[in-house]
Amino acid sequence: MFLTGKIIEFLDTDQIRMGYVRKQERDRLQVIDPRGRNVSVNNDHVVIVHQAVPETEFPSAARTLSDAIAGRQSEVDVELLWQSLGGTQREIQAAELAQLFFAEESPGAASAIFHALVDDNLFFKRKGAQFLPKTGDQVASEITRRQRQREHEEFHGRAVRTITDLSKKHPVEQTAETKLLLERMHTWLRQKNGDEVGAILEEIAGASKARDVAYDILVRAGLVDGSADRFLVLAGIDPVFPRHLIEAAESLAPYSPVSSRIDYQEAAAFTIDDEDTREVDDALTVTRDGGEIVAGIHIADVSAFVGKGDLLDVEAARRSSTIYLPAARVLMFPERLSTDLASLREDIPRPTFTVEVRFDGQGNRLAYRIVLGTIRVRRRLSYDEADRALASGDDGLQALHGLAVHLQRARAERGAITFRRPELKVLVKGDEISIKKIDPNSPSRLLVSEMMILANGIAADFASLNSLPVIFRTQEPRETLAAEATPVVEALAFERLRKTFKRSRLSLTPGLHSGLGLTAYTQASSPIRRYADLVTQRQFTAHLSNKTVPYNREELLQVLATAETAEQEGRVLEERSTTYWLLEYLAREKKDQNLAAVILDAKGNIELENYYVRGKIGGLGLQKPGDIAEVRIESIDSVRGEVRFRLA
């Protein structure tokens, strides 16, 4: 067909457009549209051919033609046209349908039909330039879908208006629809499901604030207890165990010593923990054999009570770890198991996974063995009590501390990070917020830390040598800092060191852990509090009992993926909760006081010297990074974790 000089209508993706053919070349047309834009069109995309006109008359002719087509389109009853076909099932040209409806096949009539069927696709499905009538069932299904879509859009509009109003902190009016909306919001907050209410909250408040807005609304509506820990509610974590799990824990039998385990009950085992620790994972023993020292690191053997796939095991896998927040603690196992049966309590025999290490008099490691044991803790010490015992000359503690110093020095020579700044422990009891600064480098904390690193490192070596599939922790080498010519304040030193950290990763392949200065590292030292540690422990206890290990590599990969996600979520939860209560403390106790802050950089970023809270301040003048500035709190938003400072 010769098309040069004619007005055509053509398909442009799913749209039908009008144009004037300037030139025809084989299978392509050079076309100009009514706005004067040049378009290259494939011949196959032409659906309607109108009359020829001079190019100069095209814009006005196109307007006249479009108006005429729109007028005829308004006459088209698409449903009547569909019914008149009587169930015909073949692809039909627009011109044939125009003949059926208008009794003519003119380009204008065909165009009107084409536009009508494109705009209303309920009864016909377009296939290129033709139309296929739908079956009755297809039409009925589409009508139902459209009705649901309309209802959904109406609900969405009402929900957006209602939630927007609720978020303005007005009293919550409990209409029937509002109640349903609040229930869905509550379920979304608890179960983290994909309810549309959650998407609407994110649409209104932003993804980062949606859960906070939901929490505030639900507290005012009385569906969430305002005295419950805000951050557990926001994370969808229920600290209470269901009755059937509590009963499962209560039904567990206490441990009775068995001859297949090495008996350490006469070895005067002791524990060192924080005063409020109730899940006691580890104990230590120390004995002398001639000029040699034998250190025993004894880990609570939770695998002796809970097997893979048990009710309690499934719940522990779901929880992934014990969570410690300033105002709450959420256990991985019910108390009957975590603080009683498995916990290394005083004067009660307990099963252990034990790493026993032999050293010479100079602190050099001679040999080790890993066994299943039984211990009886004779002394429970807090870190403060252990420090006092060390200072007073306790022989066993001093021997272990000497080994710990030697071990740390050796790791440092292999590139380990040994700089550890003090930590803040924030505790909330009722309306009282207390803050305690903990020195991780105190003698007793160094002792415990090095013994746990020693046990986990040896366990990793043992697993590697015996081809035992376990979860390893690896960390890539960090950047080396240039030596400082002058001493650097702690905050600045930590900031510079922090920037060199590489994220540690979980792996099924042993590899370097640069931060610890070890060639292989696993974690089996906290099985009461970390599920990944329990899984790793089970691999060891099965191997030591000459049994098939419970987890293959594929199952370990699943545990590994869950553990990494849970660790990240747990860190965010703990950091956010700690920041909230720390800012609450500052708002209550330090709002009108001068506070010392370390200047971190020239941009005005600062850190409060005693609280590690960071913020920004202007007008530093000649002060430089590392200098101390006197500041005051200008404003605090504890919920958002934001604080503003000004120079005092």
User: What pTM was computed for the model?
Assistant: 0.77
Instruction: Dump pLDDT digits (tens) for 190-216.
Output: 877 778 899 999 999 888 889 889 998
355 domain-assigned:
yes
146 domain-assigned:
no
160 domain-assigned:
no
pLDDT score recorded for residue 479: 65
Q: Tell me the residue type at 108.
A: G
- Judge whether residue 172 has pLDDT over 80: no
Round to whole Å and give the CA distance between 317 and 302.
14
pLDDT score recorded for residue 457: 97
- Judge whether residue 180 has pLDDT over 80: yes
Q: Taking a C-beta distance cutoff of 8 angstroms, is the pair 510, 472 a contact?
A: yes
pLDDT score recorded for residue 620: 75
Q: Taking a C-beta distance cutoff of 8 angstroms, is the pair 320, 531 a contact?
A: yes
Q: Which of 177, 201, 226 is the last residue of a domain?
A: 226
Q: How many domains does the chain have?
A: 4
Report angle CA 267, 273, 276 to the nearest 5 degrees.
Answer: 130
% of the chain beyond a pLDDT of 70: 96
- Three-state SS string across 199-210, please? HHHHHHHCCCCH
**Pick from 301, 261, 268: nearest CA to 286:** 268
pLDDT score recorded for residue 407: 96
pLDDT score recorded for residue 485: 41
- Judge whether residue 315 has pLDDT over 60: yes
Asked which of 50-59, 154-163, 280-289, 529-538 is least confident by mean pLDDT, the reply is 154-163
pLDDT score recorded for residue 166: 85
23-61: burial string, b at 16+ Cβ within 10 Å, e else: ebeeeebbbbbbeeeeeebeeebbbbbbeebeeeebeeb
Whether 626 and 490 share a structural domain: no
**Pick from 343, 350, 353: nearest CA to 279:** 343
154 domain-assigned:
no
153 domain-assigned:
no
Band of residue 489 on the pLDDT scale cut at 50, 70, 90: low
SS3 144: helix
% of the chain beyond a pLDDT of 90: 68
Torsion sign over Cα 342, 344, 350, 352: positive
Asked which of 349-353, 484-488, 635-639 is least confident by mean pLDDT, the reply is 484-488
Whether 196 and 320 share a structural domain: no
Round to whole Å and give the CA distance between 176 and 165.
16
The strand pairing partners of 29, in sequence order, are: 24, 41
Instruction: Dump pLDDT digits (tens) for 131-158.
Output: 999 999 999 999 999 999 999 999 899 8
Q: Which domain holds residue 13?
A: 6-134
Higher pLDDT, 616 or 47: 47
* Residue 281 half-sphere exposure toward CB, CA atoms < 13 A: 19
Whether 220 and 261 share a structural domain: no
Q: How many CB atoms lie within 10 A of CB 551?
A: 19
Round to whole Å and give the CA distance between 529 and 574.
15
SS3 277: coil
pLDDT score recorded for residue 497: 64
Q: Tell me the residue type at 120.
A: D
Instruction: Dump pLDDT digits (tens) for 359-392.
Output: 998 999 999 999 999 999 999 999 999 999 999 9
Specify the pairing of strand 292-300 against strand 349-359: antiparallel
- When the pLDDT of each residue in the chain is averaged and rounded to a whole number, the result is 91
Dmax over CA atoms of the chain, in Å, equals 115
Whether 598 and 569 share a structural domain: no
**Which residue shows structure tokens 């978020």?**
167
- Judge whether residue 501 has pLDDT over 70: no
Whether 217 and 249 share a structural domain: no
- Judge whether residue 483 has pLDDT over 50: no
Q: Tell me the residue type at 66.
A: S
531 domain-assigned:
yes
407 domain-assigned:
yes
Q: What is the phi/psi pair of residue 569, to 5°?
A: -65, -40
Q: Tell me the residue type at 452.
A: M
Asked which of 19-33, 167-181, 211-225, 284-298 is least confident by mean pLDDT, the reply is 167-181
Instruction: Dump pLDDT digits (tens) for 414-443.
Output: 988 887 888 999 999 988 999 999 998 999
